[in-house]
Amino acid sequence: VPLRRIALLMGQDLSFSRAVIRGVREFALQRPDWTFRNGPPTLEIIPEVKDWRPHGIIANLFEEGFARRLQRLRKPLVDTGCAIAGLRVPVVDVDHEAVGRMAAEYFLSRGFRHFGYFGVHSAMYSRIREESFRRRLAEEGHAASSCYGDYLHRVPTVTSWRTLDRQTRDWLNNLPKPVAIFACNDIPARTLADTCGLLGFHVPSDIALLGVDNDDLECSLTLPPLSSIGIP
C-alpha cells in the first residue's frame, strides 16, 4: 500500500495545537499507510514541505503570506486556525459562536451588568466570538466595551508593547466596576490579569476574567488561576 504523507504545520507551544495534533494522530492509528511530519506554521518551513511532497497539509493558518504560499503548493489544505477571512480553504475548528454565547451566559448567570471584550480584531475567530458574545448580551439589554491587541500566534506585532500596554491600561481604568471581561483566548486573558495586578484591581471582585482554551500553563500563571472555556 503506498504511503500517504501528511504535513502537520501548527507548532506545539499552544495546548490547542497539541490537542489537534493528538486528535489527528489518534484518528490515523487505524491507517498504517499514513505518515506524518510536524513543523511550525512559518515561512521557513515551506521549502522543507515542498521537498517532502506531502499528499495533504493540515495547518494553523494565522498569517496570510504563509497561507498563500501553502496554497501555491497546490496540495489539499485544511486550516485549523480560523483567523484569516477569504482564504477559500476548508476550516475544521470549534464552534466560535457557541464559545461567545457561553461566555455571555456565564457572566449573566453571575449577575454582572458591565461587560468588556478583549480580542484580536484582525482574527476571524475573535470577531465571531465577540459578535456572538455581544448578541447574547444584547438579548438581555446589555452592551460591551471592546479593546483590541495583537495576539496572533507567531505573528510579529505591528504595535509596540508600550503602546499596547497604555491602551489596555486606559481601557481598564475607564471601565465601570465591577466588570466582566471575556478575552478571545487565554493568552490575552493572562495579559489582562497581569495588567489588573499592576493597576491595583482585584480579580475577580473588580474585574472578572474569562479566557478560552483552558490552557494549563496560561491559566496557572495568574493569581487567582484564570477561568477559561475548555475546547473539546
Confidence (pLDDT) at 160: 56
Look at residue 34 and give its three-state secondary structure: strand
136, 101 contact by CB (below 8 A)? yes
pLDDT(11) > 90: no
Could you give the angle at which helices 186-199 and 161-174 cross, rounded to 10 degrees? Answer: 70
Q: What is the pLDDT of residues 48-83, one digit of tens each?
A: 999 999 999 999 998 899 999 999 999 999 999 999
Confidence (pLDDT) at 156: 45
pLDDT(226) > 50: yes
103: its cell numbers: 461566555
Closest CA to 115 of 207, 196, 201: 207
Looking at mean pLDDT, say which of 14-18, 32-36, 136-140 comes out highest: 136-140
What letter represents residue 178's amino acid? P
Residue that wins the pLDDT comparison between 29 and 99: 99
165, 186 contact by CB (below 8 A)? no
Closest CA to 64 of 86, 89, 39, 84: 84
Confidence (pLDDT) at 12: 83
What's 172's DSSP letter? H
Average model confidence (pLDDT) across the chain:
91
Nearest-angstrom CA–CA distance, 174 and 90: 41
Checking DSSP bridges between strand 207-212 and strand 56-59, what pairing results, if any? unpaired
- Cα angle 86, 184, 105 (rounded to 5 degrees) comes to 115
Q: In angstroms, how far apart are the furthest CA atoms of the chain?
A: 64
Confidence (pLDDT) at 151: 62
Nearest-angstrom CA–CA distance, 177 and 204: 11
Closest CA to 99 of 220, 218, 210: 210
Q: What is the pLDDT of residues 138-161, one digit of tens each?
A: 999 999 999 998 765 544 444 555
Confidence (pLDDT) at 190: 93
pLDDT(13) > 70: yes
Nearest-angstrom CA–CA distance, 169 and 82: 28
Q: What is the pLDDT of residues 102-114, one digit of tens each?
A: 999 999 999 999 9
User: What is the pTM for the complete model shown?
Assistant: 0.90
Q: Region 210-227: what's the mean pLDDT?
A: 94
What is the b/e burial string over 87-120, where b = at least 16 CB atoms within 10 angstroms of the residue's CB? bebeeebbebeebbbbbbebbbeeebebbbbbbb
27, 92 contact by CB (below 8 A)? no
pLDDT band at 174 (very low <50, low <70, confident <90, very high): very high
Residue 156's CB is within 10 A of a number of other CB atoms, namely: 7
